[in-house]
């Protein structure tokens, strides 16, 4: 594969575009210039650190190291899910709900893909496991955070309606049913849109990367189709688990709405 290396000057030129965008947003008083620069800095530092970690993993293939990196990725994704919610659950539930749902979905789907579909030997090769798990966690994180945010925000805003339905004899599952379904739907919208537009409106990242690295287009397409299906499954299952558990957490055993469990 003929890969054209990028120099620090090349990256600096690309960074100039971000600086110009931040300057323009400041002139227009959009209020996002500082956040944009911080995000760009975080991207640079985080990706450079990931590159060093992956280099070490590729040179020393050990399941224990892979498990440690995967656990760190999961914990960071769980934190991102928690901070993106306007009304999140208090205590362990605020962090554990999204983390548990992503573990159940993303790790299960990734393990199935590595051991059955791709079937590389050994199955825990970092060059396959880490990128696959990262794409699954990233997309599942978005779906879970959107679903939980809508669930808790809607329950907070519609608390009077929910309590009236409870007084009329409805169970917790019945009165939260519409909100729960809408939260699940919203969590699935991004991946549905991504699949619908793939190949027509946009070329997905993995496919583009493989083509730029010199892989045959058909091989790149096959891998991208696999990844899109895996992401859809991981996002869907993760969102459904998180929203279902979150909806149950909003009520006690006597079917009373417990908004005190939210921040």
Closest CA to 39 of 60, 59, 19: 19
State CA 28 to chain mean position distance.
Answer: 31
Going from N- to C-terminal start, the domains of the chain cover 1-60, 62-261
Q: State the pLDDT at residue 164.
A: 92
Cis bond upstream, residue 122 (ω within 30): yes
Q: Which two tokens stand for residue 31?
A: 């209020």
> To the nearest 10°, the Cα dihedral for 131, 108, 73, 202?
40
Could you tell me the CA-to-CA distances from 45 to 1, 10, 69, 148, 172 in Å, in that order? 27, 17, 17, 29, 46
For the residues of 71-85, what is the DSSP string, one character each?
Answer: HHHHHHHHHHHHHT-
Q: Which two tokens stand for residue 137?
A: 């966690």
pLDDT values of the chain reduced to their tens digit, one per residue, 263 residues: 567 778 889 889 999 999 999 999 999 888 888 999 999 999 999 889 888 888 888 888 888 888 888 999 999 999 999 988 889 999 899 999 999 999 999 999 999 999 988 888 888 888 888 889 998 999 999 999 999 999 999 999 999 999 999 999 889 999 999 999 999 999 999 999 888 888 777 667 777 777 777 778 888 888 888 888 999 999 999 999 999 999 999 999 988 999 888 98
**In degrees to the nearest 10, what's the CA dihedral of 134, 72, 148, 169?**
130
- The string of pLDDT tens digits covering residues 171-228 is 999 999 999 999 999 999 999 988 888 877 766 777 777 777 777 888 888 888 888 8
**Using CA of residue 242, residue 197, residue 76, residue 85, what is the dihedral sign?**
negative
- Tell me the C-alpha distance between 48 and 179, whole Å: 41
**Are 179 and 155 a contacting pair, CB within 8 Å?**
yes
CA dihedral 260, 261, 262, 263 (to 10 degrees): 80
> What is the C-alpha to C-alpha distance for residues 223 and 206, in angstroms, rounded to an integer?
8
What are 251's strand-pairing partners? 257
* Full-model pTM: 0.83
Distances (CA, A) of 102 to 141, 144, 260: 7, 8, 25
CB 231 within 8 A of CB 136: yes
Do residues 41 and 255 make contact, with C-beta atoms less than 8 angstroms apart?
A: no
């Amino acid at each position: 594969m003929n890969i054209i290396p990028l120099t620090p000057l090349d990256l600096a030129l690309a960074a100039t575009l971000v600086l110009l965008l931040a300057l323009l947003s400041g002139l227009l008083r959009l209020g996002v210039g500082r956040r944009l620069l911080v995000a760009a800095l975080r991207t640079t530092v985080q990706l450079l650190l990931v590159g060093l970690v992956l280099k070490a993993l590729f040179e020393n293939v050990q399941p224990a190291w892979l498990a440690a990196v995967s656990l760190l990725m999961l914990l960071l994704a769980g934190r991102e899910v928690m901070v993106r919610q306007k009304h999140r659950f208090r205590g362990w539930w605020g962090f554990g709900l999204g983390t548990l749902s992503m573990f159940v979905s993303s790790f299960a789907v990734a393990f199935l893909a590595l051991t059955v579909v791709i079937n590389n030997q050994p199955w825990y090769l970092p060059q396959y496991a880490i990128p696959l798990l990262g794409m699954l966690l990233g997309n599942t994180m978005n779906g879970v955070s959107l679903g939980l945010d809508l669930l808790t925000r809607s329950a907070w805003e519609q608390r009077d309606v929910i309590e009236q339905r409870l007084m009329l004899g409805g169970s917790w599952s019945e009165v939260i049913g519409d909100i729960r379904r809408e939260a699940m739907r919203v969590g699935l919208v991004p991946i549905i849109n991504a699949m619908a537009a793939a190949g027509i409106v946009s070329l997905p990242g993995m496919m583009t990367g493989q083509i730029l690295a010199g892989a045959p287009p058909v091989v790149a397409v096959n891998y991208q189709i696999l990844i899109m299906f895996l992401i859809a499954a991981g996002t869907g299952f993760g969102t459904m688990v998180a929203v279902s558990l979150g909806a149950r957490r909003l009520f006690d055993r006597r079917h009373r709405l417990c908004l005190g469990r939210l921040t």
